[in-house]
Amino acid sequence: MPGDDLVPGFEGVDADRLRLLAEVASLYYESNYTQSDIAELLGISRTSVSRLLSEARDVGIVHITVRRPNPHNINLSAQIKRYFPSIEEVLVVPAGSRGYPQVVEALGSAAARLLERKLYENIILGISWNTGVYQVVRAIRAAQQVKATVVQLTGSAGHANPIMDGPDLTRWLAQLLGGRYIYLAAPLVVESQAVRDALLTERSIADALALARQINIALVGIGTVFPPLSSLLQTGHISEGELREIIQRGGVGDILTTFYDINGDVLPIDLHHRTIGLSLDTLKDIDCVIGVGASKEKAPAILGALSGGYLNYLVTDDQAASAVIDILLNEGDELADE
């Protein structure tokens, strides 16, 4: 019967045409193919691809929304950069009424777009592990085939969800980027310094750490001592008592399982002699270090990371950024009162 080949909501365009328009739009907008790539793949001209994309917008298959930057968030970014001129870029994502998991997911998308801008052929990329890093990898577009080498920067955490742990994240990102992956085949935390020192002599571990010191980009999560958001506490690598001791010593956060204070100074604690991974100070020698951290509870950890010079790119949310600036302003007031 007439109209049987039409799709409700797209009257006037037959189903085969709609499938073609949807395929071309998906390749271009979702998979990041160029118009030339699509033309070659489908055996049509580049001009035809351009016309199909215009038609897809006209019939309503594609909706384009322009998101204008929030002036408040731009101001927060500028304020942080004024305090820390060495920071290349601060991306501030609006938290709004979203819960923590949704904010971290938004941070992951923003950090993924930043990472994609920094990629080039045969790059060596190192990643740590946590929820934020997982969300970045999840948001990477599969079309970025740059033959990257992805290196695991810390030992395996034994996370309850394996896909969020170092080995799976390393392999997943390497596959997305069309490259190879290098595992750090060791636990994140061991029983003693003697065990750690013995493992560091094992060839595969030594070689992985040697390559980790040569990376071009590091993608790291910013950890916190706030118990509900502490990945190390949640995975059982530190106890509640150990976390309390870290807080009493002035600890505010961790990167690469290394705890530091508000000034970015590494704490002298036993845990650091039992962890396997890239040292925190090594980050200062890497050209591009992207740190990801959200929530006002992580503000002290973010400030410590900035003060220590461990990051040159920060992706955070407006609540955390505002809290960081509040701490800085309060410190200035205290100094003025002295």
For 87-125, how does the pLDDT look when each residue is reduced to its tens digit (9 = 90+)?
999 999 999 888 999 999 999 999 999 999 999 999 999
Q: Are residues 52 and 82 in the same domain?
A: no
CB neighbours of residue 287 within 10 Å: 11
The pLDDT tens digits of the residues spanning 190-241 come to: 999 999 999 999 999 999 999 999 999 999 999 999 999 998 998 889 999 9
How far CA 63 is from CA of 13, 56, 66, in Å, comes to 17, 9, 10
Q: Are residues 215 and 315 in the same domain?
A: yes
Tokens of residue 78, six digits: 């500028």
Tokens of residue 291, six digits: 């740190």
Q: Are residues 54 and 76 in the same domain?
A: no
Overall average pLDDT of the 8-33 stretch: 78
Residues 211 and 286 sit within 8 Å (Cβ to Cβ): no
Q: Are residues 270 and 123 in the same domain?
A: yes
Domain count, the chain: 2
Q: Are residues 213 and 250 in the same domain?
A: yes
Output Rg (C-alpha) for the chain, integer angstroms: 23
Q: Are residues 79 and 173 in the same domain?
A: yes
Answer with the residue of higher pLDDT: 18 or 161: 18
Tell me the pTM.
0.77
At 338, is the pLDDT very low, low, confident or very high (cuts 50, 70, 90)? very low
Q: Are residues 207 and 294 in the same domain?
A: yes
Tokens of residue 189, six digits: 């935390």
Domain that holds residue 33: 1-65
CB neighbours of residue 251 within 10 Å: 22
